[in-house]
Structure 1
């Protein structure tokens, strides 16, 4: 009985304590003013934000109280990495950082009547200034290479999908940096990317995710975060540089670097560490017993098992260079195992076992361009697909071919082309460039001052083979110099539908444009029309002239940012 009496007294005391939270002294506290839907149910604040150094992001969380819904008597508080931000006492706050890193931000709303405090947290990841965006390479009057950079931002907007309203982000270009590295070499001819291992679980602690290689009098490899000089390509031969070597084409993955010289030999650097762009040296002995190749094509860079680089021999045969290097699927070591790379650099014939009428040996058609076209969401383990523009040397007619490479470089070595398709493309009077949107299954071909759109391949979800009829989507007043794709997807669970592809177009009068390409399709996925919406230049950046443009590219930094846009 004594225990029951003590418990009763204790409960009565606790009730008195709770009753003291209000200040109206009427002791009627059946309800407490809370956040509607739960104490952490704030709207208009993301779980994380990605911004670049020097880029502003404004966060304005919204909420409703269960009682004082319209004009609550509240105060606001913000913290950064656990420390209160002095003077930040409004519902909205703008953040801007001068160094890359990751920060935890918390927002609190305080009910002034009760003193009760409710909060929500987010993470702001600050990327290096030039980690993600468009790179425009120009040539100055003195022949100097000039790099310009266009930085993407994201803004919130509200839209309706299937009758329901929801909030999502949009990619906007608010700033352009001109001539950001004044120490580059002369006579630039183009650029390409070296992308590091995807580091799916963040085990390696990689902070420099990619590099930009500028081709010119001296090929120069630039830090992907700062676009500052790292090394000259020739220095990666050490003291073993082949006599008279001059690079013509190159393709780098995280486990293999390959260079074709102007005398048509290919040299390789088989890397041993996926987190180091400059480990090891090129071997001065040409590939495959000094076999000659007239082309070396771009490779899928983002971490494919049994990857393949494709090259064209002097007798017009398509050959496969093995790139089997992988890292362990567990642990924090970026070491590329010897077992996975011991056949890397071997050269194989490409055959088509499923269709004996298809041969890549001494082909009649010439390959104008061949680009990787893998479309799988799991970028680490995607099968390497390719799409190529070819030309019949007699009729001068062009075609699009599409195929997947099935390769094994271990116990039973083979390289097979599978799912091969070929479709007519027609005449191209003045070929300039081609880019591929792998996830959306189409290419853009620049023909003089014209842009052609053409679908290819098959839609995986429906097994529907696309018709592939080309569509003229744009004619400019000047010839095109370069076209490049930004083909990213989103988390459809949160964003409901994907973004349109974005296309960068450089003209020979120095103008650079970015367009969103909105496709209008029939029920089977075949495109009937393409609407091009200009997103750069825009209200924020009106001047889009970059002088004598040589090349452009879109760089995403971390490998997964080339496929999935991380806000």
Structure 2
């Protein structure tokens, strides 16, 4: 929000832009210097700025007086949070913060001849140093896990749309910090995000919005703001962890934690509080009477009354759902025993409208199953959307791959203890993959990127938002590298397209086995029906600011957006 201030008591009494009363009561009316175009007409100062700790922003407001246009006799003043900034007497000022927080900054220009003071203000929101950005995890020569962090910045530029010129923000990468935490464990195998409740209204007072789980010899969970150690995952068994347990996979929602051990048993922690990452303990008894599972798939939960679902694959290749019904109420982050009484139960899966599809002892292998967030029917609040997933499956006999997508129908108010419905089921033939490496899901833009050896393939999935049109779904080879790919992840940008005029392309992080890491914009060229006929891949990192993109033995890459809504909308 931009506030414009005009301190002109003399003008207020006159009701016009003229003044000057002499001491002998002779009225001498002369024009008063004002801001051309109106007292609010300051340029190049935005409503709001978003920075990370340690980043700089220089604000240089522009204006023009109605009288003294060339060399006005003026002085300048800056304030922050109502206090004058000492020494800030120039038209521009650079801000940099060592702590996160929100600050109101005001700029004033004073006409020295009349003493009139004009101003504009803005908000600077300072994120924690590691709240948003790319993590590149490597394995050091001594086996230690190393995390490197690439911080996004924004840069304004001029763009033209339908003949109109406007200012647009762009995501750029100006800084890269290596080896952020020098005390991590050894033999890393990957990273997992633990994302907190969306808390759109700020009722919970959350300051740490997500965490990074490092999978190594002894799994540990890192503070999402500082990337410092919080707890070892096994400590959350409260001293009652099964003997010899070694963790293999994990799935975290704001209301439950689930981990799968290497021996196939899954353990759950139905959390009693949505605003605390480390409340409660894992139950040391495996779920579903000791049933064994060979996979536990990722899931991110944001809120709403739709029951959450964590998918797991049994040893006989049957897809099951671990129920997570924990839901806080309004401004209270606590989750009652009644709300979470069903959490940890295991249910069968039924495909609605396709009862010929049997999810028990499947003949196809599920290679990946990833959350693919979709807009709800009302097109507004993501916390009320039914969970959507995208899966990559392979036929046992033909070895051909299929891209599968579906929604989950499971309401906390209408829950069956026997089965969970899958709806809007779609299958897309994907052809063969010689050397599958990884898959990144762009749920805002409804496409996936799949790595096959040293190649990247693009493919749409699902339907055009707010219509029933099925997207084309033909795979396209979009990039070939000189080395094999190790890991992928997506930063799927979505902004207010009414304000910004047109959408932003999603960004893809790509790690190679020679230690290089790249970030690309994936630019779709679509027809009137939103079917993509061409894809342009534009390199964003390395760039003119950071030219070294070699990190060593890369194990995994991960984009973290900070608070939950940061995964839906990119806030500049």
Q: Is the CA contact 1:304–1:383 (under 8 Å) kept in the aligned structure 2?
A: no
Q: Is the CA contact 2:365–2:395 (under 8 Å) kept in the aligned structure 1?
A: yes
- Distance in 1, matches of 2:325 and 2:118, equals 52
Q: Deviations over 1:535-567 (max 9, x none)?
A: 111111111100000000001111111111112
Residues 72 and 456 (structure 1 numbering): CA distance in 2 closer, same or farther, change over 3 Å?
same
- Distance in 2, matches of 1:429 and 1:351, equals 31
Aligned residues: 553
Equivalent residue of 1:354, what SS? Answer: coil
Q: Is the CA contact 1:21–1:114 (under 8 Å) kept in the aligned structure 2?
A: no
TM-score (norm 1): 0.94
Shift of 1:348: 1.0
Tell me whether 1:341 sits opposite 2:334 in the alignment.
no
- Distance in 2, matches of 1:412 and 1:171, equals 42
After the TM superposition, which residues 281-300 of structure 1 pair with which residues of structure 2 at under 5 Å, given as runs?
281-300=281-300
Residues 392 and 95 (structure 1 numbering): CA distance in 2 closer, same or farther, change over 3 Å?
same
Match of 2:431 in 1: 426
Q: Is the CA contact 1:154–1:171 (under 8 Å) kept in the aligned structure 2?
A: yes
- Distance in 2, matches of 1:426 and 1:341, equals 42
Tell me whether 1:556 sits opposite 2:558 in the alignment.
no
Equivalent residue of 1:289, what SS? Answer: helix
Bigger shift: 302-311 or 189-198? 302-311
- Distance in 1, matches of 2:108 and 2:487, equals 49
Tell me whether 1:260 sits opposite 2:260 in the alignment.
yes
Q: Deviations over 1:124-148 (max 9, x none)?
A: 1111111110001000001010010
- Distance in 2, matches of 1:68 and 1:341, equals 69
Match of 1:408 in 2: 411
- Distance in 2, matches of 1:253 and 1:45, equals 39
Structure 2: segments with no counterpart, 5+ residues: 1-10
Match of 1:7 in 2: none
Q: Is the CA contact 2:187–2:217 (under 8 Å) kept in the aligned structure 1?
A: yes
Structure 1: segments with no counterpart, 5+ residues: 1-10
Q: Deviations over 1:496-551 (max 9, x none)?
A: 11210000000000000000111111111111111111111111111110000000
Residue of structure 2 aligned with 1:478, choices 473, 478, 483: 483
- Distance in 1, matches of 2:30 and 2:488, equals 66
Equivalent residue of 1:338, what SS? Answer: coil
Shift of 1:410: 4.5
Residues 66 and 286 (structure 1 numbering): CA distance in 2 closer, same or farther, change over 3 Å?
same
- Distance in 2, matches of 1:229 and 1:387, equals 32
Equivalent residue of 1:341, what SS? Answer: coil
Q: Is the CA contact 1:304–1:384 (under 8 Å) kept in the aligned structure 2?
A: no
Tell me whether 1:392 sits opposite 2:395 in the alignment.
yes
Aligned CA-pair RMSD: 2.2
After the TM superposition, which residues 223-242 of structure 1 pair with which residues of structure 2 at under 5 Å, given as runs?
223-242=223-242
Shift of 1:44: 2.2
After the TM superposition, which residues 2-401 of structure 1 pair with which residues of structure 2 at under 5 Å, given as runs?
19-20=19-20, 28-29=28-29, 31-69=31-69, 71-305=71-305, 306-329=307-330, 331=331, 333-376=332-375, 378-401=381-404
Equivalent residue of 1:464, what SS? Answer: coil
- Distance in 2, matches of 1:14 and 1:310, equals 72
- Distance in 2, matches of 1:15 and 1:258, equals 68
- Distance in 2, matches of 1:385 and 1:427, equals 25
- Distance in 1, matches of 2:17 and 2:463, equals 68
Match of 2:7 in 1: none
- Distance in 1, matches of 2:384 and 2:528, equals 30
Equivalent residue of 2:357, what SS? Answer: coil
Shift of 1:338: 2.7
Tell me whether 1:490 sits opposite 2:495 in the alignment.
yes
- Distance in 2, matches of 1:181 and 1:77, equals 40
TM-score (norm 2): 0.93
Shift of 1:405: 0.2
Bigger shift: 409-418 or 433-442? 409-418
- Distance in 1, matches of 2:216 and 2:85, equals 49
Q: Is the CA contact 2:19–2:30 (under 8 Å) kept in the aligned structure 1?
A: no
Runs of 4+ aligned structure 1 residues displaced above 6 Å come to 13-18
Shift of 1:289: 1.1
Residues 15 and 505 (structure 1 numbering): CA distance in 2 closer, same or farther, change over 3 Å?
closer
Shift of 1:18: 7.1
- Distance in 2, matches of 1:545 and 1:42, equals 43
Shift of 1:116: 1.3
Bigger shift: 65-74 or 175-184? 65-74
- Distance in 2, matches of 1:27 and 1:88, equals 37
Residue of structure 2 aligned with 1:461, choices 453, 463, 466: 466
